[in-house]
Amino acid sequence: MSPTVPRIVMKFGGTSVADLDRIRAVAEKVRKQVEAGCEVAVVVSAMSGVTNRLVGYCRDLSPTHDEREYDSVVATGEQVTSGLLAIALQNLGINARSWLGWQIPLRTDDAHAKARIVSIDGTALIDSMRAGQVPVVAGFQGIGPDQRITTLGRGGSDTSAVALAAALKADRCDIYTDVDGIYTTDPRIVTKARKLPRITYEEMLELASVGAKVLQTRSVELAMKERVRVQVLSSFTNGPAPTEGHLPGSLVVDEDEIVEQEQVAGIAYSRDEAKLSVRRVPDRPGIAAAVFGPLADSNVNVDMIVQSTGDDGTTNMTFTVSKTDLARAIASLESHRDTIQYGELQTDDDVVKISVVGVGMRSHAGVASTMFRTLAERNINVQVISTSEIKVSVLIASEYTELAVRALHTAYGLDAA
């Protein structure tokens, strides 16, 4: 690639290509980027609602369907979109062609329906771009070691785009979605939420993992590993092609690209939480393994954990799992009750996890105390706490979600002027 020619990967989600009018609008955005002098590759999702419909077909025919055939079915959504967008671009006079995952090839492992990318050979796409062609790539899909189509799991088109940007050594990966950037919190709850011009990989990864839905977690992990600069911006706004120095969205970058770190970058919340308390467990060595081992064997991911020991020689263990895993977690613990020897199992799915995230926490004291004081002043009880180097999360009753988010957003000085 000539050093004077920027190479951009543009990714468009399902709402951005929801119908033919939207596909025509996407084609116009791609045309502008090409006419700005960039080499462009495009990654597309299925049209909005199509993947859900295809998944429903598989489940209706058989709840225990063959996941290899499932992948063959659900991958067709992106195939349709890539072909339609290529046609729309050709109609604008842009040299374009569609590419499926196996044609690149984008190689994955054999975990059908949730495959992970093993390698991408970008040679053919680079040759295509250098020849002045725009490759339109079907996201979400690849080819497994058995030479069958695989899919990367829901939200996998973001991961496809970032992986492709790494393979193509792109200057930037632009993720077009239905929001115009990454905000300090959900603007639907806090009207004074601010759009962040830049955010670090670590902050975005934490926000994505604790409830922010802007980017898929795996795509952020990959961007951080490969140092792919990712811009989040809206496909529903008009304007010139984004160029370096005039980027309208939010840029996810390495910490070195951000001069001064704020104490807190954002507030996230997740309603997909359920709390379990295993009570009156004999306090003996190995009891934690006895509780959490069966959960791991049942593929139940445990998040927040707190343990308290009483004077009677027993302990209580409280932890959270996703709501979708709650029934499986209960069944697993009940089947091992004789081994664990707990007295009672309590559950509560009417809870929410609130998280405060920011790399500035490393150099600022008092972040946690501000959180606890703010919640206490509003009589919000904290049930469970977990922390990392750049995150503090608490579990509270779900009825206080909006109050807590608004209060914390103000307490950390994140409100827009």
What's this model's pTM, rounded to 2 decimal places? 0.85
Task: Give DSSP secondary structure letters for 347-372.
Answer: EE-SEEEEEEE-GGGGT-S-HHHHHH
18, 48 in Cβ contact below 8 A? yes
- Position 2 scores a pLDDT of 44
Number of CB atoms found within 10 A of residue 33's CB: 22
SS3 content of the chain, % helix, strand, coil (to 5): 40, 25, 35
Say how far apart CA 387 and CA 385 lie, in whole Å.
7
User: E strands along 293-398, which residues?
Assistant: 305-309, 314-321, 344-348, 351-357, 384-388, 391-397
232, 162 in Cβ contact below 8 A? no
- Position 309 scores a pLDDT of 85
- Position 417 scores a pLDDT of 65
- Position 3 scores a pLDDT of 54
> 101: which 2 tokens?
């995952």
- Position 412 scores a pLDDT of 94
> 412: which 2 tokens?
């950390």
Number of residues written out for the chain: 417
What is the mean pLDDT, run by run of 10 residues, along the chain of 417 residues? 79 96 97 97 97 95 92 97 98 98 96 94 96 97 96 91 97 94 92 93 88 83 95 92 90 84 88 94 90 91 89 89 92 93 94 93 85 97 92 96 97 88
Q: How far is CA 243 from CA 32, 172, 248, 276, in A?
A: 11, 10, 9, 49
Cβ neighbors of 410 (< 8 A, separation 6 or more) are none
Report all structural domains of the chain as residue ranges with CATH numbers, in order of start: 7-179+214-255 (3.40.1160.10), 274-348 (3.30.2130.10)
Say how far apart CA 116 and CA 119 lie, in whole Å.
9
